[in-house]
Amino acid sequence: MTLQILLLEAATFGLSYVLTRWVQRTAEPLGLIDIPNQRSSHETPTPRGGGIAIAIASLATMGILTALGVIPEQTFLAIGPGGAAVALVGFIDDIRPLSARIRLFVHFAAAAWAVAWIGPVTLLHTSGSDALVFKSVDDVLSTVGIVWFLNMYNFMDGIDGIAASQAVFMAAGLLLLSHFSVGIGIAAVPAAAVGAAAGGFLLVNWPPAKIFMGDVGSGYLGYLFAVLGLGCGAQSGVTTWPCLIIAGVFGVDATVTVLRRFVAGERLAEPHRTHAFQHLAQKYGHRNVTLSVALVNVAWLLPCAAASVHWPRSAADIAVVAVVPLAIGAFVIGSGRPAPSETSAIPSADLIPFPSARRTPQDVRETLRSAAIAHPQASPAIADRKLSDAECAN
């Protein structure tokens, strides 16, 4: 059975890569082109929506493994329908923006579905006549937690390779920790499927990215890892901590950014470029920042997560020790604080002014044509997709 799993994971990796390349080739007719604006971290039009490859490849593999009896049916029922719903609404939003209400409704419905199948993380311990009330509170908190993690992952998908490499790390971390913790074992095989799919996508998303995962990918990954963490926590409350630790970089940067912007009275739904990793990317480049995040994950957070598994009674304290330096670093770097380049808003003469991040397929063709003329050596993202005069005229 182990050989079967390994072969399926390899197939997942390959399928994700092939599907990502297919989305890259068909992105333009669908309007799946990310047009940069003043708040973007890229400068050339780039295909998006590649995360659909991660969702299709990993869900297919998990379905097969469930049929083989490797993944419990209850686990797949918690992951599959909700994950598919989140991916679908994200894919539609990548093509034509949906209102925040529609997206949040689907997110909360998917999260509630997962909690109903797996059960909540027990945060409030009680018995007797009040047990049902406190369980309801746990249900609500667990549902909100999934929605927050889902959107947090979406917030952090802002530079080349960071969200996909984080998924590979988290999957590998859960797989490794499962050998030392029975509570994390429920997440091992599904995490491996997601990690393999994210790895196939990462080959095309590595800096300089030829395609972005879009909301379909970031939302799906956030939902999957949140539900897997919920499953671990439902087995044993102690195993919640190592799951939170390995997500530390994303959790801290997103949380500090949101809190700082909230205190400053800014609109939280407004697009921005104020995460710590975005500030760093402007100075040091996407690849260096993505590699630095990977280094922090492997050298600091993974050992801390392993320590929390080894000493479960001190897991909460270890989690605090793990994230406090990250929070201090995020604050010092400037999470939630606008960069000088944003406040000055001085356009570069080398850039084409893009008024909107999402436009119709016809507008996209015209923009790409202008980009090809102004930037003949632009980026691999559009170098792979040459437009003819006939296509631009359609």
Q: pLDDT digits over 263-282, tens only?
A: 988 888 787 889 999 999 99
- Please state, in angstroms and rounded to a whole number, the distance separating the CA atoms of residues 177 and 246: 10
User: What band does 128 get if pLDDT is binned at 50, 70 and 90?
Assistant: low
Residue 372's pLDDT is 52
The pLDDT of residue 204 is above 90? yes
The pLDDT of residue 390 is above 80? no
Residue 349's pLDDT is 32
- Please state, in angstroms and rounded to a whole number, the distance separating the CA atoms of residues 74 and 69: 11
In percent, the amount of the chain with pLDDT more than 90 equals: 69
User: What band does 4 get if pLDDT is binned at 50, 70 and 90?
Assistant: confident
The pLDDT of residue 194 is above 60? yes
User: Is the separation of the CB atoms in 225 and 170 below 8 Å?
Assistant: yes
Q: Where is mean pLDDT largest: 176-180, 268-272, 345-349, 389-393?
A: 176-180
Q: C-alpha distances in angstroms, 154 versus 83, 90, 164, 227?
A: 14, 10, 11, 15
Backbone angles phi and psi of 9, in degrees to 5: -65, -40
The mean pLDDT value for 191-206 works out to: 98
- Pick from 225, 230, 224, 243: which is nearest to 120 by CA? 230
pLDDT one-digit tens code per residue, 5-39: 899 999 999 999 999 999 999 998 888 999 887 66
- Please state, in angstroms and rounded to a whole number, the distance separating the CA atoms of residues 98 and 104: 10
Residue 87's pLDDT is 98
Cβ burial 265-278 (10 Å sphere, 16+ → b, else e): eeeeeeebbbbbbb
The mean pLDDT value for 175-186 works out to: 91
Query: Is the pTM here over 0.75, yes or no?
Result: yes
